[in-house]
Structure 1
Amino acid sequence: MKDGTVLLEIESYPALLTEICSNPVVLSATSACIVTMEDDIHIVEEDADLRLDPSVDPKCLGTVAILDTRIDFPESFGSLIDGSHVCDGADTAPNPHGSWVASKAVFGNMDGSVILRPRNRVFGCAVYNEGCTTAHLIPRLEEAVKLLKDRIKVFNLSINCDVPLDRDDPLTKKADELQYEHGVQIIISMGNHGVWKSSDSLSFVFEDDDTRMTAPADSILGISVGSVSGETYPGLLSKRNEPSPYTRKGMLVNGIQKPDMVARSGNVGQDLRIKMDPYSRLVTRRGFAYNAGTSFAAPYVAGLLEMIRTRIGDDGILTSKAVLYDSLKPIEWVPESDYVRREDLLGYGLAEESDIAEDGSRVTLMRLDSIKTGTEKIITVEVPEIEMPNKKVNRLVVTVTCVTMSRVEHRYGEDSVRTNVVPYCKNAEGASPANNNVWSPIHKRVFKMKKMKDKDWKIRLECKSRDEVEEDVEYALVVSIWDPKGNDICARIRNTNRYPEMVSVREMVRLTERMRAENKIKLDG
């Protein structure tokens, strides 16, 4: 390695790790598995003269770090590359996978037009090489994060171990350590499997233990992203908004739900031929390519998170992360098998670009703060009286989302999360908690009601700790009130809010846009 440390690979048994570590010349020893990003889907390529939408100034866009292979975009797309770096030992030659992943972070789902509208830029950071194991990837992940942490907050890693999770993986531990220490967010694909190629139903696919998630998707602080099909096609296992046949199923990791969320991706038949649509469309140096996998669901979410950061002027990551979880759309798919939990495939819901903006039917309030362990805090939101026109059909939906930068120490096993902030809602009935575990860094409560009485909405925040050490724990709280039928409730809520404890997303967007126009905020460089 660059610091002079010698990295050795040896064949051994896990039981011998302790004995190996006791040798005074050994700095550390960990078990490692091969990491992969390949599949044998028949990729389709399509030559096209791609151009960028001239109305978008790339210098006004945020940047996502792509931890993958080198990016090889068309020469005319140079303004979208915000830098590049090859980590120690990684391949220096371009590889299509890095370009495909980067194109999803930059463009999202593309409709087929040759004029492309970018939503982000990317920094290409090569971390992969053929035969790469977690032992190789760990120092490269650390090198990349430490290099970029001061100017980039969103990192995408679409690389997974090639075997299902059966133990704590050192790559997962390193990912959590880096995210907590440096205040960054790593978006991680759930990984793909091949069981679907010989199955005739989704139920049979996900009953198989070989479809279980792989490291580092079990990262507690990471955002793990699975895939649902973008379109329905005759004869295919998965319909629109159903789990993609190749996505891996998650689990409760120390009581914490994985995956965190899903995004739409390409659909594929058992003949391994990809369906060509906006969800499978990617960019290469020569034009379009079509492929499917959770590798491309993850950067879609990474790009969405960076868009939120840019729009609300978030210097960190926690507030944007809470807004992202708040915006997730529920999916009504129900598995046919009693052995499959829907949350293990869908997480908290579907990430969609159209859901992050406020309109007349939705108000989103947010707060970033810290609280001392062992203490409580009351947050008050004023809500005017609102009664829906049709009491039999309409329901106001109130979502309370709290995201904590929890201290995580994997040496404690099931008690790895050492600090956490938990929201408790007063003056509310009908709570539908997405996660009942008080030690989950993600808490989301959904309320559906016919009307809201003219009184204050109180949220009690309790800061928990498993250690007898007083410390400040950072959290982001987001409260959304919206009418799914589209009725205009915005002014009645936002204009009467007497409490400065929370600010609306719309106000932050307007303030950020004004400061950017006055050159008080600069994204370039």
Structure 2
Amino acid sequence: HASGQDLNPDEFHLRAVIEDVVDRYHESVKVYNLSLGSSIPINNFEFSDLAKLLDFLSKHYKVLFIVSSGNINSLLGTYPSDHFLNSSSRIGCPAESILSLTIGSIAKYDNTDSLSNKEEISPFSRIGPGADLGIKPELVAHGGNLILPYNFSPRVSSYGISADGTNLCVDNGTSYSAPIISQYAQRLFDLYPDSDPNLVRALLCHFTEKKNVPEEITDDVINYTGFGEPVIDNALAAGSFNAAYIHEGQLDQENYQYIAFHIPSSLAETNKHSKLRIKITITYDPPVNPDNDSEYSMARISALLIKSSTTGMKPINISGDGKYILPWNPIIQFEKSFSRGYLTGAWDLRLRLYTRGTVKEDYLQDYAVVIEIIDDENGTNVYNDIIAEYSEIYKKIKIRIAA
């Protein structure tokens, strides 16, 4: 700018640039980091033109946008309860985009003067829910901390390389947590180059560690830190006591689809040295209706877990804390532990597609599923046991990790 001031682009210009860049590079560039956002909080069932564009581009070009949740630039009331309960703490445009992953911030460092404890939501990190009342932000990563009363301190902040590449720089913000997740996303696209962004979203949202909020906060943690912080090593490879089946497919509007998977015999209920837990994440990219914000997503998937038992295949009721299911929201996650009343061997996940609005009858919905089999007693090597029993059925995913 002629006056020497930095000017942010207006939304129209920004939309034009994003559309042009994605159109030009989508075949080679799959991850787009957007560390920007409006300071004005979103409203229920209202989607900005920029969020609508991100959703359109995500589905049309099969790319993934990683968007910062935005920053709360000043104390909004007594910290933490009144601060986060203030309506101005909610995410701003375009973080409400339902096909983008929205990234909040957690503190990795603390001291006696800091507002947040280590591994807790950062004081400035904007919170959900999304415009559809769904989970936002989905994920969090290190973005810094603040000290009393609401001040910057290099000791507890986020470090990076300066713009000229010659120095270390220090700052705070969700603008710094989002690129960490963008890098994770790119590593997963590198591992699965032929895969859909649905799979990368599923892996990032599945393999996470839950993160904390201040104990004074009593409302739902999921609106603050989402599914948690991704553990990228777990998303890249099986651990000692778990294994994951991953599946990508398409659903039509007429039929149930059954996805079979197998529980190894080492996780039988009679084995007192093991305890079976199953965790499932399903992601999909529904078509959206830019002209109807209240019925914006036009597809939903219903999911049912079916176990093998002595009396045949039995559907399982999933309830309680380990469940995130909001109709028309494009991420489903649930988990359940089992101690009795099941057999090992083949189980099923049953999926069904429902649509609304202007969706054509022959529409097919892409989706991805992660089914993780876990031994909570850490008594069996689940991955090796599955390979030993069922190697003829499943394809192992070989990974190359640079030294």
Using the size of structure 1 for normalisation, the TM-score is 0.67
Aligned to 2:312: none
Counterpart of 2:229 (choices 350, 358, 368) is 350
1:191-236 C-alpha deviation (Å, 9 max, x unpaired): 001233x755211210111111100000011101111111232121
Aligned to 1:242: 120
Q: Which amino acid aligns with 1:135?
A: F
Aligned to 1:405: 285
Aligned to 1:178: 57
Q: Which amino acid aligns with 1:341?
A: D
1:242-300 C-alpha deviation (Å, 9 max, x unpaired): 111000111142242211111122122146333446x7121121121111110011111
Could you say if the C-alpha distance between residues 241 and 314 of structure 1 is closer, same or farther in structure 2, counting changes exceeding 3 Å? farther
Q: Which amino acid aligns with 1:407?
A: P
Q: State the SS of the aligned residue for 1:426.
A: strand
2: distance between equivalents of 1:439 and 1:135? 28
2: distance between equivalents of 1:219 and 1:211? 17
Aligned to 1:419: 299
Aligned to 2:313: none
Q: Which amino acid aligns with 2:62?
A: G
Aligned CA RMSD, in angstroms, stands at 2.8
Aligned to 2:338: 449
* 1:378 CA displacement: 0.6
2: distance between equivalents of 1:148 and 1:158? 19
8 Å Cα contact 1:158-1:295 kept in structure 2: yes
8 Å Cα contact 2:72-2:124 kept in structure 1: yes
Aligned to 2:108: 230
Q: State the SS of the aligned residue for 2:65.
A: strand
1:268 equivalenced with 2:146 (yes/no) = yes
1: distance between equivalents of 2:345 and 2:89? 49
8 Å Cα contact 1:381-1:499 kept in structure 2: no
1:351-372 C-alpha deviation (Å, 9 max, x unpaired): 2333323122121110111121
Aligned to 2:40: 163
2: distance between equivalents of 1:274 and 1:387? 53
Q: Which amino acid aligns with 1:134?
A: E
Unaligned 5+ segments in structure 2 are: 308-315
Alignment map for 1:337-376 (pairs within 5 Å): 337-338=217-218, 340-356=219-235, 357-376=237-256
2: distance between equivalents of 1:461 and 1:203? 40
1: distance between equivalents of 2:192 and 2:376? 24
Could you say if the C-alpha distance between residues 484 and 239 of structure 1 is closer, same or farther in structure 2, counting changes exceeding 3 Å? farther
8 Å Cα contact 1:230-1:241 kept in structure 2: yes
Q: Which amino acid aligns with 2:119?
A: N
8 Å Cα contact 1:378-1:458 kept in structure 2: yes
* 1:434 CA displacement: 3.3
The structure with the larger Rg is 1
* 1:455 CA displacement: 3.2
Counterpart of 2:365 (choices 470, 473, 487) is 473
1:309-368 C-alpha deviation (Å, 9 max, x unpaired): 212344432222211121122235465244x43111111222233332312212111011
2: distance between equivalents of 1:389 and 1:274? 55
Q: State the SS of the aligned residue for 1:257.
A: coil
1:509 equivalenced with 2:380 (yes/no) = no
Counterpart of 1:438 (choices 313, 327, 330) is 327
* 1:395 CA displacement: 4.5
8 Å Cα contact 1:189-1:294 kept in structure 2: yes
Aligned to 2:348: 458
Q: Which amino acid aligns with 2:110?
A: T
**Greater Cα offset, 266-275 or 182-191:** 266-275
8 Å Cα contact 2:251-2:353 kept in structure 1: yes
8 Å Cα contact 2:277-2:373 kept in structure 1: yes
**Greater Cα offset, 200-209 or 324-333:** 324-333
Aligned to 2:389: 496
Using the size of structure 2 for normalisation, the TM-score is 0.86
Alignment map for 1:251-266 (pairs within 5 Å): 251-266=129-144
8 Å Cα contact 2:47-2:131 kept in structure 1: no
* 1:431 CA displacement: 4.6
1:155-182 C-alpha deviation (Å, 9 max, x unpaired): 1000101211234211111111111111
* 1:380 CA displacement: 0.7
* 1:416 CA displacement: 1.1
1: distance between equivalents of 2:350 and 2:392? 15
Q: Which amino acid aligns with 1:489?
A: V
1:134 equivalenced with 2:11 (yes/no) = yes
Unaligned 5+ segments in structure 1 are: 1-90, 96-128, 517-525
Q: Which amino acid aligns with 1:224?
A: T
Q: Which amino acid aligns with 1:351?
A: P
**Greater Cα offset, 144-153 or 442-451:** 442-451
Counterpart of 1:380 (choices 260, 275, 293) is 260
8 Å Cα contact 2:31-2:66 kept in structure 1: yes
Taking every aligned residue pair, what percent have the same amino acid on both sides? 20
Could you say if the C-alpha distance between residues 499 and 413 of structure 1 is closer, same or farther in structure 2, counting changes exceeding 3 Å? farther
Q: State the SS of the aligned residue for 2:135.
A: strand
2: distance between equivalents of 1:396 and 1:275? 45
1:424-463 C-alpha deviation (Å, 9 max, x unpaired): 1112455555323231111111112347632322100111
2: distance between equivalents of 1:162 and 1:288? 27
1:66-124 C-alpha deviation (Å, 9 max, x unpaired): xxxxxxxxxxxxxxxxxxxxxxxxx89xx9xxxxxxxxxxxxxxxxxxxxxxxxxxxxx
Q: State the SS of the aligned residue for 2:230.
A: coil
